[in-house]
Structures are given as structure tokens and as C-alpha cells.
Amino acid sequence: MLVSKRPLGCLFEIVETLVLTLIIFFVIQTFVAQPYRVEQQSMERTLEPDQYVLVDKLTPRFDDYKRGDIVIFDPPATWADARGTPYIKRIIGLPGDRVAIRDGLVYVNDVALQEPYLYEGQPTVATGPDSTWVVPPNELFVMGDHREDSADSRVFGPVPRDRVIGRAWLRYFPLSTFGVLPTPTYPELAGSPGAGALSPAPGKPEASPSAP
């Protein structure tokens, strides 16, 4: 009797371990971090197609998004080219900011941003009907680093905070590109009026959830 029960007991332990592993994996991917593969060119040279990033979903719950963060988000439902694929862009404007594009530069609250991360130093031009926006509460104004090859808030407007999936913080594949994605500072905006704060919210970039 004891010998006949061992295989069943061992099988039960294996199934129990697999179920627990799946639950842990689901919880981590849903609430903590998730890998994504970059699919488009809109964040060159910061991020190139076929690179993989780890998206932080946890810390934005208590350390909210900042200007310069790279975020993964679901584009507005009204955006015809969304195709159900998450986008990856950089936060340029926070709630209350007045964002304007003129003379090839981005102005936030009438101060020209210094943007060393731009692809080959490209000028920024308005690609939609507007060139000035005031970012509403709990929304973010986002743009790609490759300004000439990016569908972003210049076209579909600011993105609601609740459509943001998380903050891209680590580029981990290929291994030769491994490194933390830094958030730039904008000292020229120190003391600038108008920048609001995001309200706490629970929390395929042109990318798709995946891992190598």
C-alpha cells in the first residue's frame, strides 16, 4: 500500500509546484514587472527594434511617473492606428504643463527643453493639427525620441494615466546593450510654474509582451 501511494503523492507535489509557479508568474507579470520587445523605430537611438526591455509596474504606484521617463501605454481608443499594440514613448509633459512646438524645439511652460536623447539631433515639428497643448489632470504628453518616425501625443493628444502600463527601466537583451534606462533631468525647468502632479492610481510598445 505504501509503495503504491508514492507515485500519486509525487505527482501531486509536482502539480502543486507547477500551479504555484504559474500563480507567482502571473502575479509578477500583472503587478510587478513584464518583459516587452521593441518593434518600431520611434525610440531610436535610445531603444532599437528587437531589443527587450523590462517594464516596472510596481514602483509607479508609490513613485509616480516623471518627465523623461520612458513608458509603455495603450494608445487612446480613438487612435485609428492603435491595432491593440502598446506604444513606447518618453514623457514630455505632466498635468498642468503647457507644451508648445515651435522653431524645431519643444517648449514646456515657455521654456525650451534640452533633449540630448533625440535621434541624430532631429528638430521637432508638429505632426497634427495642433502645436500647443495644455496637459489635463491625470494625463501625460508623450513623444518618441525619433521625432520624424513617431506617432505620439502630437497626433493623438495626451494619454490618460490609467492607460499607462508601466515604466521601462531596464534594457536586458541583447546582452551587449544591457543597462538601466536613465531618466534625464531638465534643469532648465527648475522653478517653472504650471507642472502639476498625477493622482495616485492603481496600477507592445510599438512593442509586444515577450521574452527571448
Which residue numbers are catalytic?
Answer: 42, 89
| Residue 145 vs residues 17, 19, 30, 98, 116: alpha-carbon distances, Å | 44, 41, 27, 19, 10
Q: How far apart are CA 61 and CA 68, in angstroms?
A: 18
CB 179 within 8 A of CB 112: no
Q: Rounded to 5 degrees, what angle do the CA atoms 155, 34, 138 make? A: 40
Strand partners, 141: 93
Q: What Rg do the C-alpha atoms of the chain give, in angstroms? A: 21
Q: Which residues contact 106 (CB under 8 A, 6 or more apart)?
A: 92, 99, 100, 112, 113, 115, 124, 143
The torsion of the CA quartet 112, 118, 119, 125, rounded to 10 degrees, works out to -30
